[in-house]
Amino acid sequence: MGNPGLAPYLPLAGAFLGLTLAAAAIEIVMISRGRYGWAASSYALSDLGRAAFFVLPGLLVQRLDAVLLGAVAFASLRLAAGLGYFRWEFGSGLRPDVPRLREQLAYALPFGLAILSDVVQANYHQYAVSYSFDAATFATYSVGCLSIPIVDFVLSPMASVMMVRLSGAIAEGDAAEALAIWHDTTRQLALLFVPLAALLVATGRDVIVLLFTERYRASVPIFAIWSSGIAWHTLLVDGVLRAHADTRFLLRLSGVRLLLNVALMSWFIGAFGLRGAVLVSVLSIAVTKALALPRVARHLGVGLAGVLPWRSLGGIALAAAAAAAAARAFEGRLELAPFPALAVTGVVFGAAYVALLLRFGLVRSDERQALTAWMRTAGRGARYAAGLART
């Protein structure tokens, strides 16, 4: 990484990684056993605990080693809790099983290699920028590639639940149910991720300036491109392939994505600068998702015309784009600091997006009731935001 000062911290980072991997199965086991509420609570508590153990040592001690020690402490507590849960869940049945291990390895080895490839290609743009530019430029790029926590917070449990439900439908030979599960999961993710991407693209300047000050205004275009990639997380193609034990194809897809990153990165950086690196990253995601759809369609027994709920996805995308345009136009009429600007833009965007969903029938009746209640809450928020704007 061009920074020898990082070397002393790598053992702590390695300990955190090893402990985290050892505890990764906690929520997977809970979901597999049908304990969805427990899994959701575990995800939430883990994220809150992780944040506290990372942030508090940094605030109190203000040293990087303190942050990493906090991370190791959190990972140790999570692993201990996981081992206790496994013992309670399985009792004396918790023991090695060699035949099952062979069966699992046949599934897991190609998948593990795919994950290894994914880790390399997902971070390759960061490595390339770090190698090609100085530390200050890399900092600008890293800020632009800001992680949005809600994406992983929603995606991981949704993927796990979808795979468990798909596996049940596949075992029963119910192709119609499997397709319905895939369509429903895709639509629900689109309802959140597509507008989230649109909102972040529209408000990128305010987000970056609020969190990182005007010094990082150059990160805004990178953040806009990076945020647009959130929409592609709507397509949980990996989950369908894993539910059908098609991990070898998953490995090939990961290889294609890595190849695209390696082959295009230098050229894109030369042509577009820092934006080129993030463009390659987002483009490789889009290409591999598109390449996976025919395989998903074959597993689900449909053609490309039926593999996705195209009408719903198109309507959601149009509603999100229109809401982003309305919010941006409204904010452009006001001279506001970043925080009140985000408050006003967020309320206007949310109200416009929900109104369009309701107007064009893009939600179910139960979702309509929830969104109507949210609109009433948003109305109170709009009045508060208007007060901030006047202030």
Q: What is the 3-state secondary structure (H, E, C) of 254-277?
A: HHHHHHHHHHHHHHHHHHHCHHHH
Global confidence as pTM: 0.74
Instruction: Determine how many CB atoms are found less than 10 A away from the CB of residue 221.
Output: 18
For residue 291, what is the enclosing H or E element? helix 274-300
Q: What is the mean pLDDT of each run of 10 residues along the chain (391 residues)?
A: 80 95 92 87 92 92 90 96 93 87 84 82 89 92 92 87 90 94 95 96 93 94 96 95 89 90 94 95 95 96 95 96 92 81 89 90 79 67 56 56
**Amino acid type, 35:** R
pLDDT at residue number 251 = 86
Reduced to 3 DSSP states, what percent helix, strand and coil does the chain have, rounded to the nearest 5?
Answer: 85, 0, 15
* DSSP class of 9: G
pLDDT at residue number 271 = 94
CB 351 within 8 A of CB 306: no
Closest CA to 201 of 219, 217, 225, 231: 225
340 vs 349: CA distance, rounded Å: 14
pLDDT at residue number 375 = 64
pLDDT at residue number 390 = 57
pLDDT at residue number 378 = 60
276 vs 288: CA distance, rounded Å: 18
* DSSP class of 216: G
254 vs 234: CA distance, rounded Å: 18
Structure tokens at 181: 């599960």
pLDDT at residue number 264 = 95
For residue 43, what is the enclosing H or E element? helix 36-61
pLDDT at residue number 328 = 87
Residues composing the chain: 391
Instruction: Determine how many CB atoms are found less than 10 A away from the CB of residue 354.
Output: 21
